[in-house]
């Protein structure tokens, strides 16, 4: 069960359609053979009937936009080009083109190729190259062949569809085993607004906007400035609290385009409507974050670490990330072993100030909850009950610090034989 359980939120409804859920967005995906072998091999998506490797998302009209990028010093060429384009045409973005199989990073002509991808897309759509967001994911350090992309673009344009979201979502998958899509509907001033998105990624995922490719679309009317503010705030408590293996990728981005087709009055800074929009963004991004965690390379379980009672948001985030990133704990979760000592140990080496002797730890799942540690020391619990709780595939560890009112969560997965297998020979 790689699908996550979606958490209900009052006033928000989950919807189908992913990146095409919002009004006025079409998408498409095709297989163009960016990697030499015509038949996908090895670490490919197991969804064999849709083996796309390039996709396009297009809005019917100009969009405001915002994006956040990897903090790695090694930045993929598409990141540089997209950043440039957003700086030039951030209020009139129209399209996204993204490929898998080659990250177009650490090679000699990456920027030129990324620009070529924008130009090909723009020419085919009759827009300007700077109105295009470009993204690539896959192996680092190999030349990106532009010919397959050039052949694919007309096909992508031809196949653009208001229901093309699945074709697009599967085209960006690398070692992902499930596609990752989300959409939520909510009300802004009597108008139904929709926000949807898709993501990819299962390895090389770590806090600090290392993450993966993630594209969101909305028909909300909102400025690029407010979109960026919302994105910065929400990424901090969703994507940046995700850790699969501690590695921070070179190509990752989260971007969002808003075309205003919902017909709401433009959202104002500091308004209640802005809060409603940010919460929708949080619901969507938190859901994709959990999907990314649960589909972590080789993962069998989603691990959610909740920290409460912290004296600041930063402390809560730091402790949650420290626990979710512990290889030893991840192995214990794989083995359904209630090894709370590893939780406390990871709490102890978190770079934050608090009294370890006040820390409580609980482990829970839909099968129940066990209290394993009180005031920094172990307490007796039923090993049998613990096993029942930890054999589930969505595990929550709650760390209560007892120092204040702040809370945060971080998401990850267990560390398994398959993680090692997948990463022992990714390139072949």
Q: Is 64 a residue that touches a copy of itself (CB under 8 A)?
A: no
CB of 282: closest distance to a copy of itself in angstroms?
Answer: 26
| Touching a copy of itself, residues 208-227 (CB under 8 A) | 208, 210
Instruction: Tell me, yes or no, if 211 is annotated catalytic.
Output: yes
CB of 413: closest distance to a copy of itself in angstroms?
Answer: 12
How many CB atoms are closer than 10 A to CB 344?
Answer: 19
Question: In angstroms, rounded to a whole number, what is the distance separating the alpha carbons of residues 288 and 198?
Answer: 8
CB nearer a copy of itself, residue 49 or residue 108:
108
CA distances from 118 to 99, 111, 196, 223 (A): 12, 11, 23, 23
> Site map for a copy of itself, 19-58, x if CB under 8 A?
----------------------------------------
Q: Is 106 a residue that touches a copy of itself (CB under 8 A)?
A: yes
Q: Which stretch binds a copy of itself (CB under 8 A): 94-102, 150-158, 226-234, 319-327?
A: 319-327
Using CB under 8 A, pick the residue from 74, 86, 87, 363 that binds a copy of itself.
Answer: 74
Using CB under 8 A, pick the residue from 162, 274, 381, 426 that binds a copy of itself.
Answer: 426
Catalytic residue among 211, 250, 289, 416: 211
Rounded to the nearest 10 degrees, how much is the dihedral formed by the CA atoms of 136, 17, 259, 138?
Answer: 0
Q: Which stretch binds a copy of itself (CB under 8 A): 2-10, 53-61, 85-93, 106-114?
A: 106-114
CB of 349: closest distance to a copy of itself in angstroms?
Answer: 4
Using CB under 8 A, pick the residue from 11, 154, 368, 378 that binds a copy of itself.
Answer: 378
Using CB under 8 A, pick the residue from 72, 104, 364, 365 that binds a copy of itself.
Answer: 72
CB of 175: closest distance to a copy of itself in angstroms?
Answer: 11
Which residues are tagged catalytic?
211
**Contacting positions for a copy of itself (CB under 8 A):** 71-74, 105-108, 139-142, 203-204, 206, 208, 210, 245-250, 325-328, 331-332, 334-335, 337, 339-342, 344-350, 354, 356, 373, 376-378, 415-417, 419-428
């Amino acid at each position: 069960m790689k699908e996550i359980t979606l958490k209900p939120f009052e006033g928000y409804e989950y919807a189908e359609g992913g990146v095409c859920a919002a009004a006025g967005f079409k998408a498409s995906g095709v297989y163009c053979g960016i990697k030499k072998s015509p038949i996908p091999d090895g670490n490919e998506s197991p969804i064999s009937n849709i083996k796309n490797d390039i996709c396009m998302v297009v809005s019917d009209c100009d969009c405001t936009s915002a994006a956040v990028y990897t903090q790695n010093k090694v930045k993929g060429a598409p990141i540089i080009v997209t950043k440039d384009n957003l700086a030039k045409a951030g209020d009139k973005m129209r399209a996204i083109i993204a490929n898998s199989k080659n990250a177009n990073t650490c090679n000699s002509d990456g920027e030129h190729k990324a620009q070529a991808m924008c130009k090909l897309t723009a020419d085919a759509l009759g827009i300007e190259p700077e109105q295009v967001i470009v993204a690539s994911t896959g192996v680092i350090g190999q030349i990106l062949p532009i010919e397959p992309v050039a052949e694919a673009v007309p096909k992508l344009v031809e196949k653009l569809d208001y229901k093309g979201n699945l074709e697009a979502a599967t085209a960006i998958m690398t070692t992902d085993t499930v596609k990752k899509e989300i959409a939520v509907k909510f009300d802004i001033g009597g108008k139904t607004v929709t926000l949807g998105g898709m993501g990819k990624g299962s390895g090389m995922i770590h806090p600090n906007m290392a993450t993966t490719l993630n594209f969101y679309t909305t028909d909300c009317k909102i400025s690029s400035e407010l979109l960026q503010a919302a994105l910065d705030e929400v990424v901090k408590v969703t994507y940046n609290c995700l850790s699969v293996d501690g590695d921070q990728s070179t190509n990752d981005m989260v971007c969002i385009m808003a075309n205003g087709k919902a017909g709401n009055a433009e959202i104002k800074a500091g308004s209640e409507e802005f809060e409603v929009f940010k919460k929708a963004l949080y619901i969507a991004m938190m859901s994709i974050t959990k999907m990314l965690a649960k589909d972590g390379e080789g993962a069998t379980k989603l691990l959610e670490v909740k920290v409460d009672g912290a004296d600041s948001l930063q402390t809560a985030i730091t402790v949650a990330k420290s626990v979710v990133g512990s290889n030893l704990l991840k192995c214990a979760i794989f083995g359904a072993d209630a090894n709370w000592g590893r939780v406390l140990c990871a709490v102890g080496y978190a770079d934050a100030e608090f009294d370890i002797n006040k820390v409580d730890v609980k482990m829970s799942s839909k099968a129940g909850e066990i209290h394993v540690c009180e005031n920094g020391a172990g307490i007796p619990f039923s090993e049998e009950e613990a096993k029942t709780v930890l054999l589930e595939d969505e595990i929550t560890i709650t760390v209560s610090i007892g120092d204040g009112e702040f809370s945060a969560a971080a998401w990850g997965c267990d560390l398994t034989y398959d993680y090692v297998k997948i990463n022992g020979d990714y390139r072949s």
